Amino acid sequence: MNAVLELEGAYEKYKDDKDFKEELSQLYKNYAGRPSMLYFAEKMTKDLGGAKIYIKREDLNHTGSHKINNVLGQILLAKKMGKKRIIAETGAGQHGVATATACALFGLECEVFMGKTDMERQALNVYRMELLGAKVTGVSSGTATLKDAINEAFRDWASNVENTYYLIGSVMGPHPYPMIVRDFQKIIGEEAKRQHMELEGRLPDCVVACVGGGSNAMGMFYDFIPDKSVRLIGAEAAGKGIDTKLHAATVAGGRKGIFHGMKSLFLQNEEGQIDEVYSISAGLDYPGIGPEHAWLNETKRAEYVSITDEEAVCAFEYLSRTEGIIPAIESAHAVAAAMKIAPKMAKSQSMIINLSGRGDKDVYQIARYRGVNINE
């Protein structure tokens, strides 16, 4: 508890500090490559025949996803707090890669916890992290996926709390993490709003993002929350279908619980045991959702839809062929949701899809899903 109180204190001290903000802004610009562009997907728009579709290209950030936004912010905070060792959990490996990258840049020791199942399906990212000088520790307990990696990271943090900073990658965990991660990700929505205003002279009618823990969605949604005319749509992973046991659609199938230091929605049984969840996407394979998403759902400010593996893979292929952009399989869930919603909207309307990451890491797995053998 003292560790999170210390973190909250440090964050309150630095979040509005002029030098801190300037340093972060320079890193965003010169290292991460921000602002990320807002791209008009003209072919996709024509093909779907409804709303104008814009794509927020977080996949073009350094390290290939939105994760770097949060990592750079928290690394600076860790540095200010005098922590020498950084630990992180990772699912798809995107947060782990971003963390390993920032640790290389700042010369900090880095250990990333990753479920053994995820290490298999994201072997490329494991090697990337090692190239960047991080130690990747495999976690074989439970389902050997993201939630188990988080368990192990918490255990490590509890043991090494004095010198170690736990760099959580999503809008989850104990306060102040959901707030900190949201604040470092909200630049996505702020930029998108400004860019859309410049291009269209008005707000978009709808923004869509995929939701696992929910950091890219929270980053996209946050600045739009007061703009009631903008629909906020989160796409959850329905895996093999929400009527099966093999999914990770927390809003669709979960209920209130207390886990991983937060009160939120969780997939759980009647005795409060956390469910084993499944998704083709290692980044969405988590049995909970950030507490602010649970609130947005409860107040009906945001809507959450479920996208199956098959729908996500089709969207993965569709965006690759239609726009020449290979999305991360996580982000493909948002693309799939957009493909359902856009045709029902008027041509005068517009939507923004948050393309949270690029899909290079997923090519092998998608090939396997389609029965194509690309073993070298």
Alpha-carbon distance of 34 to 355, in angstroms, equals 14
Is residue 176 within 8 Å of 3, Cβ to Cβ?
A: no
> Among residues 23, 40, 81, 160, which is the contact residue for another protein, using CB under 8 A?
160
Q: Which residues are catalytic?
A: 67, 89, 356
Q: How far apart are CA 239 and CA 210, in angstroms?
A: 13
Q: Does 376 bind another protein (CB under 8 A)?
A: no
HEC string of 48-73 equals HCCCEEEEEEHHHCHHHECHHHHHHH
- Nearest CB to another protein, comparing residues 164 and 297: 164
Q: How far apart are CA 186 and CA 215, in angstroms?
A: 9
Give the 3-state secondary structure of residue 101.
helix
Helices (H) and strands (E) in the chain, counts: 16, 12
DSSP letter assigned to residue 142: T
Judged by beta carbon, residue 37 or residue 161, the one nearer another protein is: 161
Q: Are 283 and 273 in contact (CB under 8 A)?
A: no
Could you tell me the smallest distance in angstroms from the CB atom of residue 81 to another protein? 15
Q: Which stretch binds another protein (CB under 8 A): 51-59, 124-132, 257-265, 359-367?
A: 257-265
- Among residues 141, 194, 229, 347, the one that binds another protein under rule CB under 8 A: 141
Q: Which of residues 262-321 bind another protein (CB under 8 A)?
A: 263, 266, 268, 270-276
Closer residue to another protein, CB minimum distance, 40 or 259: 259
Q: Which is nearer to another protein, 135 or 255 (CB)?
A: 255
State which of residues 16, 18, 19, 159 lies at the interface with another protein (CB under 8 A).
Answer: 159
The nearest distance, CB 356 to another protein, in angstroms, is 26
DSSP 8-state assignment for residue 326: -
Q: Write out the binding residues for another protein, residues 5-34 only, by CB under 8 A.
A: none
Q: How far is the CB of 183 from another protein (least distance, A)?
A: 22
In the bound state with another protein, the residue whose beta carbon lies nearer, of 46 and 263, is 263
Q: Specify the residue, 192 or 262, whose C-beta has the smaller distance to another protein.
A: 262
Q: Is 372 in the site for another protein (CB under 8 A)?
A: no
Nearest approach in angstroms of CB 347 to another protein is: 46
Residue 82 is a binding residue for another protein (CB under 8 A): no
Q: How crowded is residue 231: how many other Cβ atoms within 10 Å of its Cβ?
A: 18
Q: Is 212 helix (H, G, I), strand (E, B) or coil?
A: coil
Rule CB under 8 A: say whether 260 interacts with another protein: yes
Nearest-angstrom CA–CA distance, 111 and 129: 9
What is the distance between the alpha carbons of residues 21 and 293, in angstroms, rounded to a whole number?
Answer: 26
Q: Measure the CA–CA gap between 323 and 308, rounded to whole angstroms.
A: 22
Judged by the rule CB under 8 A, the positions of this chain that interact with another protein are 1-3, 141-142, 147-148, 151, 154-155, 158-162, 255-261, 263, 266, 268, 270-276
